[in-house]
Chains A and B, each alone.
Chain A
């Protein structure tokens, strides 16, 4: 079955530590996204990538980094510079608009990150 796989489901970070969240998709989608979800604040965009080796900052990119070396993979690193990383992180992907307009996003199951 095609879909998006996020791992791990739960992650704990120590002070001063960088952690990496994995996101893999087998939907052959061009675009991939990372969102952060906090209670009562909906989804906020961290980074997105339209094609391999290219990505753009979203609304809350500070303290995060990404890479897009393969079409299928878009890992997110939460660095020690992110002082309040406790949140639910969602990865998404979508098809490129090939004359059919903006397509819906497909989401993974999410990773819940907490501070130790």
Chain B
């Protein structure tokens, strides 16, 4: 069975702090894809990154970085030097190869205080 767990319901940080959002997944498939999305107050989910199960390289994009570890079934997201505009709900999602279904975690609400 597929499952995505985001244990952190809400995180509050002060601007310029670094923050890590955790994502743990379960799947029996060997080929799968992991995603992170940002949902600002406006409601639309914005795609941030896609990672396939064969690529364990960490990725950095500006202030964002992602740490994928198959050994612990985790795909964590770090924001460096957080800004108020980073305040949003962040979702991690899993999709097994060959399927059209995407399984979402329950999301982590990030509040960045000025």
Residues of A within 8 A of B (CB): 31, 33, 35, 40-43, 45, 48, 50, 58, 88, 90, 92, 94, 97, 101-110, 112
Interface pair A102/B44, CB less than 8 Å apart: no
Q: How large is the interface on B (under 10, 10 to 19, 20 to 34, 35 or more residues)?
A: 20 to 34
Question: Secondary structure of the B side of the interface?
Answer: loop
Q: A40-B106, A42-B105, A101-B97 are in contact. List 4 more A-B contacts (CB 8 A).
A: A58-B101, A94-B100, A107-B46, A108-B44
A-side contacts of B47, CB under 8 Å: 104-106
* Contacts of B3-39 to chain A: CB distance below 8 A: 6, 9, 32-33, 35, 37
Interface pair A109/B42, CB less than 8 Å apart: yes
Q: Give the CA-CA distance A43 to B95 in the complex, in Å.
A: 14
Interface pair A41/B106, CB less than 8 Å apart: yes
Interface pair B43/A109, CB less than 8 Å apart: yes
Interface pair B99/A102, CB less than 8 Å apart: yes
* Contacts of B67-108 to chain A: CB distance below 8 A: 91, 95-102, 104-107
One of B42, B50, B101, B107 near A42 (C-beta < 8 A): B107
Q: In the assembled complex, how far is the CB of residue B35 from the closest CB belonging to chain A, in whole angstroms?
A: 6
Q: In the assembled complex, how far is the CB of residue A43 from the closest CB belonging to chain B, in whole angstroms?
A: 4
A-side contacts of B6, CB under 8 Å: 42
Closest to B33 in A: A102
